[in-house]
């Protein structure tokens, strides 16, 4: 019986050298030590899981919206992710952070946000704070994947392209709707971060990977379910 080969991806495991020494030099980590001792270690650039997987499988893009649609059983050639986020203003930059919503909060926001995009596409609730817009044609602009934008100055990461202006207008309307929304008032009263923006990302059509070394994946979210289904991988 052939031996099973396991690839374990641990984004952010190794911090900068001095920070790693300062924080973990005296930690007893037997399980991690065993894994690192028995396995073949490969060090890569500081990219997220999504980017690593796209590069490994030979994708030219990262069609997260198409995978998210597939996981939800939505048939569409073109789609775009619209995700809830919190934008904070620093001294010299505006940085993006994720916002965790419950199902009730997400539904309440979607009721007021969905009509703003009605002439651009069809709105779908996928998971709390994770929405999808199915489109009649591919968007004529490019975006930055949400995982790559988190914690960074968004100035150079915003959607860009010849047809981005209508989307910028809708984003401004969405942000105005979010400002003072009952969901945000409740979150503010509880000391939780508000949803003050939406992040557009995940455009692109499904494509066959140039090489696919994996038969199973253990990675549970709406995108991973669609990804696994599209490429006939078993989701553990």
pLDDT digits (tens, 9 = 90+) for 71-123: 888 988 899 999 999 999 877 889 999 999 999 999 999 999 999 999 999 99
Q: What is the pLDDT of residues 153-188, one digit of tens each?
A: 999 999 999 899 999 999 999 999 999 999 999 999
Domain boundaries, the chain: 17-236
Where does residue 199 rank: exposed (0-12), middle (13-18), buried (19+ CB within 10 A)? buried
- What confidence score (pLDDT) does residue 73 get? 87
Q: pTM of the full predicted structure?
A: 0.81
3-class DSSP state of 3? coil
| pLDDT, position 162 | 84
Tokens describing residue 221: 């979210």
Minimum mean pLDDT range among 63-67, 87-91, 219-223? 219-223
Distances (CA, A) of 99 to 11, 102, 166, 195: 20, 10, 25, 7
Residue 192 confidence (pLDDT) above 60: yes
């Amino acid at each position: 019986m052939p031996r099973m080969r396991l690839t374990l991806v641990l984004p952010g495991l190794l911090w900068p050298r001095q920070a790693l020494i300062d924080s973990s030099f005296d930690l007893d980590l037997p399980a991690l030590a065993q894994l690192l001792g028995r396995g073949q270690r490969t060090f890569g650039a500081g990219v997220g899981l999504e980017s690593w997987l796209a590069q490994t499988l030979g994708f030219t893009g990262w069609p997260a919206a198409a995978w998210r649609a597939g996981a939800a059983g939505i048939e569409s050639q073109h789609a775009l992710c619209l995700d809830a986020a919190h934008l904070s203003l620093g001294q010299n930059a505006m940085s993006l952070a994720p916002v965790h919503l419950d199902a009730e909060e997400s539904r309440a926001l979607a009721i007021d946000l969905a009509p703003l995009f009605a002439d651009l596409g069809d709105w779908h609730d996928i998971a709390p704070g994770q929405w999808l817009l199915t489109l009649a044609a591919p968007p004529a602009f490019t975006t930055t994947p949400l995982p790559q934008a988190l914690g960074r100055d968004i100035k150079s990461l915003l959607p860009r392209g010849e047809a981005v202006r209508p989307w910028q207008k809708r984003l401004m309307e969405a942000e105005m709707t979010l400002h003072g929304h009952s969901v945000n008032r409740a979150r503010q009263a509880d000391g939780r971060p508000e949803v003050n923006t939406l992040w557009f990302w995940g455009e692109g059509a499904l494509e066959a990977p140039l090489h696919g070394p994996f038969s199973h994946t253990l990675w549970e979210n709406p995108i991973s379910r669609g990804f696994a289904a599209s490429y006939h991988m078993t989701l553990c």
